[in-house]
Structure 1
Amino acid sequence: MKPHNVLVLPGWQNSGPDHWQSRWEASHGYHRVDQHDWMRPKRGDWIARLEEVLLGCDEPAVLVAHSLGCLHVAAWASHSRNTARVKAALLVAPGDAEREDMRPQLPTWSTIALQRLPFPSVLVGSRNDPYCSFERAQAFASAWGSRFVDLGNVGHINADAGLGDWPAGHALLTELLHF
Structure 2
Amino acid sequence: MTIDKTPTVLIVPGLRDHVAEHWQTLLQQKLPNAVSVAPLEHDKLSCAARVAALDAALAKIDGPVILVAHSAGVMITVHWARQHDRKIHGALLAAPVDLETPLPEGYPTFDALAENGWHPIPRTPLPFPSIVGASRNDPLARFERVEQMARDWGSRLVDLGEVGHLNPAAGFGEWPMAEKLIHELV
Q: Do they fold alike, i.e. is TM over 0.5?
A: yes
- 1:11/1:67 contact within 8 Å kept: yes
* Alignment match of 1:31 (pick from 35, 57, 64): 35
Paired residues for 1:104-123 under 5 Å = 104-107=111-114, 108-123=117-132
Aligned-pair CA distance for 1:55: 2.0
Q: Secondary structure at the match of 1:166?
A: coil
2:182 equivalent to 1:173: yes
Q: How many Å separate the matches in 2 of 1:138 and 1:110?
A: 18
* Alignment match of 1:68 (pick from 67, 72, 81): 72
Gaps of 5+ in 2: 104-108
Which amino acid in the other structure matches residue 98 of structure 1? E
TM-score normalised by structure 2 residue count = 0.87
TM-score normalised by structure 1 residue count = 0.90
- 1:12/1:38 contact within 8 Å kept: no
Aligned-pair CA distance for 1:163: 3.1
Q: How many Å separate the matches in 2 of 1:52 and 1:168?
A: 28
CA RMSD of aligned residues (A): 1.7
- 2:21/2:168 contact within 8 Å kept: yes
Give the aligned partner of residue 87 of structure 1.
89
Give the aligned partner of residue 156 of structure 1.
165
Task: Note closer, same or farther for the CA distance 1:37–1:135 as it changes in structure 2 (3 Å cut).
Answer: farther
Give the aligned partner of residue 58 of structure 2.
54
Which amino acid in the other structure matches residue 29 of structure 2? A
- 2:96/2:134 contact within 8 Å kept: yes
Aligned-pair CA distance for 1:36: 1.7
Q: Secondary structure at the match of 1:21?
A: helix
* Alignment match of 2:17 (pick from 14, 26, 30): 14
- 1:13/1:38 contact within 8 Å kept: no
Task: Note closer, same or farther for the CA distance 1:162–1:38 as it changes in structure 2 (3 Å cut).
Answer: farther
Aligned-pair CA distance for 1:39: 7.9
Aligned-pair CA distance for 1:64: 0.3
Aligned-pair CA distance for 1:54: 1.3
Q: Which moved more, 1:25-34 or 1:157-166?
A: 157-166
Gaps of 5+ in 1: none
Q: Which moved more, 1:96-105 or 1:25-34?
A: 96-105
Larger helix share, 1 or 2: 1
Which amino acid in the other structure matches residue 9 of structure 1? V
User: Cα deviations across residues 75-133 of structure 1 (Å, max 9, x unaligned)?
Assistant: 00011132x1x110000000111113441342321111111000000000101100001
Q: What is the total number of aligned residue pairs between the two structures?
A: 174
Which amino acid in the other structure matches residue 55 of structure 2? E
Q: Secondary structure at the match of 1:64?
A: strand
Q: How many Å separate the matches in 2 of 1:37 and 1:153?
A: 34
* Alignment match of 2:147 (pick from 126, 129, 138): 138
